[in-house]
Amino acid sequence: MSAADKALYEAVFNENNQEFVIAGKLRPRREDEILGLLEGMMAALDNVRGTFYLNVKRLAHLNNIAFRAIAEVIAEACERRRDLRVEVITSSVVGWSTRKFQQFARHSPRVTVNEYDKDFYPGQSFWEEGGFVPTLRLQTRLTWRHERKLLPQHGLRPGMHVADICCGIGDFAVLLKKEFKPGRLLALDHSRSSLDYARKVAADFEISDIEYVYGDASELMIEDNQFDFVTCRHSLQIFDKPELILKELFRICKPGGRVYITNEKNSHCLGEPRSDSIQWTYTEVAKLFAHFKMDVELGPKSRRYMLDAGFEDIRVDSFMVTNLDGDPQEFADLIKAWETVFAGEMARDRGDPPEFLAKFRQGFQDHIYAALHPKGYAGWPIWAASARKPA
């Protein structure tokens, strides 16, 4: 293996959490080609107490030569150290790895395999399991009226290679496909049920050239510098570590390409009449999300996040989805769906008392009242930001 080939993988030991991370591609011809990695692992194994974590979440490929060498080092350490346990952390995004390391667990009783999945996404279950698909579709329909005009201002052009990360049920990707005719369109999400739905919708519409792929937005198995335009909508705000996702969006974007994100500032949802009640409830919505480690106030922070991630030429727009955009009943339906999830499942999971819930629900009802009132106005503000990856 040449010096260039060695760079195909990286191995790092994090002493604080006793975790040895191997990422990239490990396909040596001989064991001695990965001697540095093996010696590093031996030293790490000697230094840990209790459980040694072997993180292979981002190890895309591993041949048998490397697998056997790693297994031997671990087996020898387990032989020497009776107190030692080894937990291998795999990802379901890498198809072979859990199965392969489970062979190791069957062979060595002190080795266990933990397929890392949902822990990173505290809010995912609310969207996946709440029958929320019609609401997500409605949200996209309402925001698309604004975004289809904004996207060209943020640099989207026909023929570009586009990735929609955290694509959810894939409806935005379908709209992108129809309106902007990208040269390549990859839509990725970490929810298998959402992707199944997306593929079904695409099949129903006979759209065959959107690549719907399963993946973890914070650990994308996509090579660097692949896309001219990367979108990630309404998603940074529901992850507890948005900077990790932004780092990945930056990585897969081509130099000179742009990353486009949308996020909310929920406490700024508004309506007239009954503005005080509405404002109180949406301020509480932000607190409720914060309880579940989600920041639905992220919208105006987009600029800071993008600067911190190394982007340049940052453009920030905001737009207001309102009851006047189209059918006010659609807007009212959206608020009703929010009430069901926020005041229902989420507040219930937080353990909120009945008197709080009554007042909390009232704000949503008042927002609906404002939306449907003949002289009323109701709004939902969104921040759309994009930035260029330096060439």
Partner 1 sequence: MSGANQLLELSMGIEHFSSEWIHCDRISSYVARMVSHNRADSLLYANLLSSALNELLETVFAHHGPNGQLSCRVKRAGASDIIELSLPCDDKALKFYTQAADMLDRGDIADRYQEALFSSGEQDPHLGLLEVAVDYRAKIRIAPAGEHLTLSAEMTLEGAQ
Peptide bond into 28 cis (omega under 30): no
Q: Say how many residues touch partner 1, by CB under 8 A.
A: 41
Interacting residues with partner 1 between 181 and 210 (CB under 8 A): 186, 188, 195, 199, 208
Binding partner 1 (rule: CB under 8 A), the pick from 32, 36, 80, 107 is 107
First to last CA, the chain: 31
Establish if 105 lies at the interface with partner 1 (CB under 8 A): no
Which residue pairs, CB below 8 angstroms and at least 24 apart, start in 147-152? 147/262, 147/384, 148/175, 148/179, 150/317, 150/319, 150/384, 151/176, 151/180, 151/260
Q: Measuring CA to CA, which residue among 2, 73, 55, 58 is closest to residue 25?
A: 58
- The helix/strand/coil state of 27 is coil
Binding partner 1 (rule: CB under 8 A), the pick from 13, 23, 24, 67 is 67
Establish if 61 lies at the interface with partner 1 (CB under 8 A): yes
Which residue carries 């090579």 as its tokens? 223
Binding partner 1 (rule: CB under 8 A), the pick from 23, 133, 138, 213 is 213
Establish if 29 lies at the interface with partner 1 (CB under 8 A): yes
Establish if 226 lies at the interface with partner 1 (CB under 8 A): no
Nearest-approach distance from CB 118 to partner 1, in angstroms: 17
> Which alpha helices (DSSP H) does 259-353 contain, by range?
275-291, 302-308, 328-339, 347-350
Q: Let me know the angle formed at the C-alpha of 166 by 231 and 259, rounded to the nearest 5 degrees.
A: 20
Establish if 214 lies at the interface with partner 1 (CB under 8 A): yes
* DSSP H or E segment with residue 178: helix 171-180
Nearer to partner 1 by Cβ, of 60 and 357: the residue is 60
Nearer to partner 1 by Cβ, of 45 and 286: the residue is 45
Output DSSP code: residue 334: H
Site string for partner 1, 76-95 (x = CB under 8 A): ----------------xxxx
Binding partner 1 (rule: CB under 8 A), the pick from 222, 314, 341, 372 is 222
- Contact at 8 Å (CB) between 370 and 278? yes
Interface with partner 1 by CB under 8 A: which range of 63-71, 305-313, 346-354, 360-368? 63-71
Interacting residues with partner 1 between 284 and 323 (CB under 8 A): none
Q: Both tokens of residue 73?
A: 């080092």
Interface with partner 1 by CB under 8 A: which range of 151-159, 167-175, 215-223, 262-270? 215-223
What is the greatest pairwise CA distance in the chain? 78
Establish if 42 lies at the interface with partner 1 (CB under 8 A): no
Spatial neighbors of 363 by CB under 8 A, at least 6 apart, are 277, 278, 279, 280, 281, 282, 284
Q: At 83, give phi and psi (nearest 5°).
A: -80, -10
Establish if 167 lies at the interface with partner 1 (CB under 8 A): no
Nearest-approach distance from CB 211 to partner 1, in angstroms: 5
Nearest-approach distance from CB 64 to partner 1, in angstroms: 5
* DSSP H or E segment with residue 319: strand 312-322
Nearer to partner 1 by Cβ, of 98 and 143: the residue is 98
Binding partner 1 (rule: CB under 8 A), the pick from 60, 244, 341, 357 is 60
Nearer to partner 1 by Cβ, of 54 and 346: the residue is 54
Do the bridges between strand 377-388 and strand 253-264 make them parallel or antiparallel, or are there none, so unpaired?
A: antiparallel
Interface with partner 1 by CB under 8 A: which range of 65-73, 230-238, 371-379, 381-389? 65-73
Nearer to partner 1 by Cβ, of 27 and 315: the residue is 27
Binding partner 1 (rule: CB under 8 A), the pick from 55, 98, 140, 231 is 98
* DSSP H or E segment with residue 312: strand 312-322
- Contact at 8 Å (CB) between 189 and 215? yes
Nearest-approach distance from CB 369 to partner 1, in angstroms: 45
Establish if 229 lies at the interface with partner 1 (CB under 8 A): no
3-state helix, strand, coil in the chain (%, to 5): 50, 25, 25
| Footprint on this chain of partner 1 (rule: CB under 8 A) | 1-2, 5, 25, 27-29, 60-61, 63-65, 67-68, 71-72, 75, 92-96, 98-100, 103-104, 106-107, 186, 188, 195, 199, 208, 211-215, 221-222
